[in-house]
Amino acid sequence: MKLLAPLRSWAVASAAALLAILLAACSTRPHDTIVVGSKNFPEQALLGEILAQHLEARTHLRVERRFYLAGSYICQQALLAGRIDTYVEYTGTALTAILHDPIESDSSAVFGKVKAQYESRFGFEVLPSLGFNDTFAIVVRGEDARRLNLKTLTDAARYTPQWRPGFGYEFMERPDGYAGLARVYGLKFAAPPRVLDLGLLYRALLDGQVDLVAGNSTDGLLAARDLVVLQDDKHYFPPYEAVPIARQDFLARYPEVRDAISALAGQISDAEMQKMNYAVAGEGRDASVVAREFLRSKGLD
Amino acid sequence: MNVETKPAADGDAIVEFRSVHYTLPRGQVLLRDVSFAVRRGETLVLLGRSGAGKTTALKLINRLADPTDGAVNVDGRSTLDWDPIALRRHIGYVIQETGLFPHYTVEQNISLIPRLEHWPTPQVRERAQELLALVGLDPAHFLKRYPHELSGGQRQRVGVARALAADPPILLMDEPFGALDPLTRAEIRGEFQALQQRLQKTIVIVTHDTSEALLLGTRIALMEAGELKGLYSPGDFLHSNEPVASAYVAQLRALEEFERGK
Amino acid sequence: MNLTDFLQQHGNEILQATIEHVWLVAATMLLSIAIGVPLGILVARRPWLSKPILGSANVAETIPSLALLGFLLPVPWLGDRADRLTITALTLYALLPIIRNTAAGITGVDPAVREAARGMGMTPRQILFQVELPLSISTVLAGVRVATVLTIGVATIAAAVGAGGLGEFIFRGLAMVNNQLILAGAIPAAALALAADFVLSVLERRLRPAR
């Protein structure tokens, strides 16, 4: 039949092509190459570089970088599908955004839950924390902290009725943000919060337009300016410890990776992360260079 | 009314209409109390104008439609008792637009039913060649052609060949030559007349062309507004006093009148 | 970074992403043809079904692709794996052109051909497979072509929900303000779409029955 003869050969050709593609899909990654992923902000790129360079130094594996993936869900899917082999997640984010469990404040409880559920539900291993806790930070000017002898949020609660706060959109909206904070510490302010872009918050604080802001505990500016982070003495904010995640079968295949990553446990303090963040975001330096300097300073390269 | 009242002997009637009514779901009556018989080996012409019900009657024979009342018998059995597929394969069907499959060659078109009936391949090919020759087309030249490469007349011949492929005893033709130009039409008609003698089949032809009816039919069934006006031999038809019949005959004479008028 | 260095460093990644992309599209097209063609035949057979079936497919098509992906995200089982989610959404998207063209192709078959086929004693199934489908294959392919190109495009957006593929390069490049990365995703995606369109229209033309 005139019509179907070409169709038959096209069908065979395309079936063959499809088959070839599917087979190729199973085997394009060259042997002994691993992929480190990261989310799409500078701190994550730094952590990704630290992980990648350390692995390059300590194992004989080739490391590819797949950074700036847009968020936790994307990284999760990429890890499941094998497009990346490891990335650094935050325990609080894992608990709420991936596992959809309610948020808690006890950091070891959170770590335990995340580790157990990641193993049972996804076959992922949660490796020990890198050391810092990238949680919310309530920040005031250094001069105010010294003058009023402020160390904790409870201390500050006495003076907030005279202050104007400044928060980002997310902090205003999140249930574990402003609403809960005000409730737990009984905070009252002189005026409703000014809602600003994250990048403008610290400038507004330093200029005196606001007196108290909510940032992140590892923000670079905290290391570079006269700013003080108030202690969360009532443990309101959930923990966001930085933990490397990897598939269990991947670690079983490359045990040297687990050893190498475990060597990074506890190596990065809040202050050290702040300094690195400032170098990249504030001074515009290259993340891979900053990461290399850090590893060298710790003898981990 | 010059109705032929000679009843057909039962064993002789291949197709029989018994008080057949056909009404559309919306209430329009297309056939009203139609009764006649088609004898073995004859060519019955259903003659009438558009809307007379002749195509509807034809379609009741191969169950493209079912009567709303009354019965149509084929080979002594009501069409309703026949499996429609088996019935249709028992009957050859030629339509005005031909309906050849554009994606099949002439050979594939002709051998459609034999292949569906699982005839052995060499027999199928032989049959196709035989039939093409029968309808006046050179097999060597036409077997591998496609319908769009043929003229109207050639296509209609292939249509007839296709209908005859499985050698059905009955042939239904719905205005088979209506789409052809007058010269081709006359030519094919002549060939068909010759074919009729050789085929010895029972044929029912629908047409609105009076000369075709007279030339091809052994009997003419005149239909008007869903009713059977009468059954005539060609000679009786020409000399009939029945108003509708005379109107048709008058049309035939139109050319002569034109000549006389000059 | 010049082109050769870039390709050297990212060439393997780009190839992998392309394969991921093609796999998403291929799986979607197989599913949508398997579902869409029978639905199209059904619509051709029972015209009263055209409103509900084509109507639903139209609704799926009208929802912006990112919104559709977002809707399906919280659905259990579907939302757990980005590829399931994406293939489901992409299939819903691809259905309309395929159903519509299949129905149009079959209804567009010359009524005389259909009547002749029926009158000669072909069963409905024989008519479908030997007459209607072969005669409408070119039209059906046109629908497949439109659906394929559409799918290649929407699959690019699906990287936003973790499906991988070439779109991921584009999103990463945007976040890093890196034009080379953006192009690394955009150019192959465009090339894929153009190639698919070209190949399928050639096929469509070859299969069109001569009148």
For residue range A199-213, list pLDDT tens digits in order.
788 999 999 999 999
Residues in chain C: 211
What pLDDT band is residue B2 in, cutting at 50, 70 and 90?
very low
Which helix or strand (DSSP H or E) is residue C188 part of?
Answer: helix C179-207
A56 near A105, Cβ under 8 Å? no
For A2, name the nearest residue in chain B, comparing CA atoms only. Answer: B103
- The answer on pLDDT for B99 being more than 50 is yes
A258 near A251, Cβ under 8 Å? yes
Q: Does A2 touch chain B (CB under 8 A)?
A: yes
For A21, name the nearest residue in chain C, comparing CA atoms only. Answer: C19
User: Are the Cβ atoms of C19 and A24 closer than 8 angstroms?
Assistant: yes
Between residues A23 and B71, the one the model is more confident about: B71
Give the per-residue pLDDT at B256: 73
What pLDDT band is residue A4 in, cutting at 50, 70 and 90?
low
- ipTM exceeding 0.90, yes/no: no
Both structure tokens of A198: 């994250």
- Backbone φ and ψ for A298, nearest 5 degrees, come out as -100, 0
DSSP string, chain B: -----PPPPGGGEEEEEEEEEEE-TTS-EEEEEEEEEEETT-EEEEE--TTSSHHHHHHHHTTSS--SEEEEEETTEEGGGS-HHHHHHTEEEEETT----TTS-HHHHHTHHHHHTT--HHHHHHHHHHHHHHTT--HHHHTT--GGGS-HHHHHHHHHHHHHTT--SEEEEESTTTTS-HHHHHHHHHHHHHHHHHH--EEEEEES-HHHHHHH-SEEEEEETTEEEEEE-HHHHHT---HHHHHHHHHHTHHHHHHHH-
Shortest distance between the Cα of A107 and any Cα of chain C, in A, equals 26
A83 closest CB neighbour out of C12, C81, C164: C164
Rounded to 10 degrees, what is the CA torsion of C57, C62, C66, C69? -20
Shortest distance between the Cα of B106 and any Cα of chain A, in A, equals 11
For residue range A88-147, list pLDDT tens digits in order.
999 998 998 889 888 788 899 999 999 999 999 999 999 999 999 999 899 999 999 999
Give the per-residue pLDDT at A10: 62
C186 near C152, Cβ under 8 Å? no
For residues C67 and C60, give the distance between their C-alpha atoms in angstroms, rounded to a whole number. 11
For A1, name the nearest residue in chain B, comparing CA atoms only. Answer: B104
CB neighbour class for A220 (10 Å; exposed up to 12, middle 13-18, buried from 19): buried
Q: Which amino acid does the sequence have at B25?
A: P
Distance of CA B80 to the CA centre of its chain: 21
Q: What is the mean pLDDT of residues A217-229?
A: 91
Q: Does C123 touch chain B (CB under 8 A)?
A: yes
Give the per-residue pLDDT at B254: 77
Q: What is the mean pLDDT of residues A224-245?
A: 92
Between residues A20 and C74, the one the model is more confident about: C74
Mean pLDDT of chain B: 90
What percentage of chain A exceeds 70 in pLDDT? 90
Strand partners, B171: B92, B203
Give the per-residue pLDDT at B198: 86
Q: Which amino acid does the sequence have at B29?
A: V
DSSP SS3 for C79: coil
User: Are the Cβ atoms of C123 and B85 closer than 8 angstroms?
Assistant: yes
C164 closest CB neighbour out of A1, A30, A78: A78
Q: Find chain B residues with C-beta within 8 A of C112's C-beta.
A: 95, 97-99
Shortest distance between the Cα of A8 and any Cα of chain B, in A, equals 15
- The answer on pLDDT for A180 being more than 90 is no
Mean pLDDT of chain A: 89
For residue range B178-223, list pLDDT tens digits in order.
888 989 898 888 888 888 888 889 999 999 889 899 999 999 999 9
For residue range B210-219, list pLDDT tens digits in order.
989 999 999 9
Q: What is the mean pLDDT of residues B45-62?
A: 93
- The answer on pLDDT for A289 being more than 80 is yes
Chains that touch B (3 or more CB pairs under 8 A): A, C
For C165, name the nearest residue in chain A, comparing CA atoms only. Answer: A83
Between residues A27 and C190, the one the model is more confident about: C190
Q: What is the mean pLDDT of residues B1-15?
A: 56
In this prediction, the residues of chain C whose per-residue pLDDT falls under 50 are: none
- The answer on pLDDT for A27 being more than 60 is no
For residues C33 and C42, give the distance between their C-alpha atoms in angstroms, rounded to a whole number. 14
Give the per-residue pLDDT at A236: 87
Over the Cα atoms of chain B, what is R_g? Answer: 19
Q: Does A28 touch chain C (CB under 8 A)?
A: yes
- The answer on pLDDT for B10 being more than 60 is no
pTM: 0.80
First vs last C-alpha separation in chain B: 35
For residue range C111-164, list pLDDT tens digits in order.
999 999 999 999 999 999 999 999 999 999 999 999 999 999 999 999 988 888
Q: What is the mean pLDDT of residues A272-287?
A: 92
For residues A78 and A101, give the distance between their C-alpha atoms in angstroms, rounded to a whole number. 21
User: Are the Cβ atoms of C12 and A24 closer than 8 angstroms?
Assistant: no
Chains that touch C (3 or more CB pairs under 8 A): A, B
C48 near C114, Cβ under 8 Å? no
Q: Chains B, C: CB contacts under 8 A, how many?
A: 66
Give the per-residue pLDDT at B91: 96
DSSP string, A158-214: TTGGG--EEE-HHHHHSTTTHHHHHHHHT---SSPPEE--HHHHHHHHHHTS-SEEE
B56 near B22, Cβ under 8 Å? yes
Q: Chains A, C: CB contacts under 8 A, how many?
A: 81
For residues A168 and A199, give the distance between their C-alpha atoms in angstroms, rounded to a whole number. 9
User: Are the Cβ atoms of B102 and C121 closer than 8 angstroms?
Assistant: no
CA atoms within 13 A on the CB side of B16: 17
Q: Find chain A residues with C-beta within 8 A of B105's C-beta.
A: 2
Between residues A16 and C121, the one the model is more confident about: C121
Between residues A150 and B198, the one the model is more confident about: A150
The greatest distance separating any two alpha carbons of chain B, rounded to the nearest whole angstrom, comes to 63
- The answer on pLDDT for A261 being more than 50 is yes
- Residue of B116, B144, B156 best to disrupt the C interface, most CBs of C under 10 A: B116
Rounded to 10 degrees, what is the CA torsion of B226, B229, B232, B238? -110
Shortest distance between the Cα of C106 and any Cα of chain B, in A, equals 14
- Residue B123 Cα distances to B105, B167, B238, angstroms: 17, 13, 45
Give the per-residue pLDDT at C146: 96
For residues B62 and B44, give the distance between their C-alpha atoms in angstroms, rounded to a whole number. 16
Give the per-residue pLDDT at C199: 95
What pLDDT band is residue B8 in, cutting at 50, 70 and 90?
very low
User: Are the Cβ atoms of B105 and A3 closer than 8 angstroms?
Assistant: no
For A78, name the nearest residue in chain C, comparing CA atoms only. Answer: C162
Q: Does A3 touch chain B (CB under 8 A)?
A: yes
**Helix, strand, coil in percent for chain C, rounding step 5:** 85, 0, 15
C143 near C97, Cβ under 8 Å? yes
* Residues in CB range of B207: below 8 A, 6 or more apart: B45, B46, B47, B175, B178, B213
Give the per-residue pLDDT at A6: 55
Give the per-residue pLDDT at A5: 58
User: Are the Cβ atoms of A21 and C23 closer than 8 angstroms?
Assistant: yes
Both structure tokens of C83: 């590829």
A134 near A90, Cβ under 8 Å? yes
DSSP SS3 for A60: coil
- The answer on pLDDT for B243 being more than 50 is yes
Strand partners, B170: B91, B202
C39 near C99, Cβ under 8 Å? yes
Edge-to-edge strand ranges of the sheet holding B69-74: B29-39, B13-23, B69-74, B77-78
User: Are the Cβ atoms of A7 and C207 closer than 8 angstroms?
Assistant: yes
What pLDDT band is residue A70 in, cutting at 50, 70 and 90?
confident
Closest CA to A166 of A136, A143, A196: A196
CA atoms within 13 A on the CB side of A143: 5
Q: What is the mean pLDDT of residues B129-145?
A: 93
Give the per-residue pLDDT at B4: 46
Both structure tokens of C149: 């190109």
What pLDDT band is residue A23 in, cutting at 50, 70 and 90?
low
C173 near C166, Cβ under 8 Å? no
Q: Does C124 touch chain B (CB under 8 A)?
A: no
Shortest distance between the Cα of A10 and any Cα of chain C, in A, equals 8
Q: Find chain B residues with C-beta within 8 A of C137's C-beta.
A: none
User: Are the Cβ atoms of C112 and B162 closer than 8 angstroms?
Assistant: no
What pLDDT band is residue A171 in, cutting at 50, 70 and 90?
confident
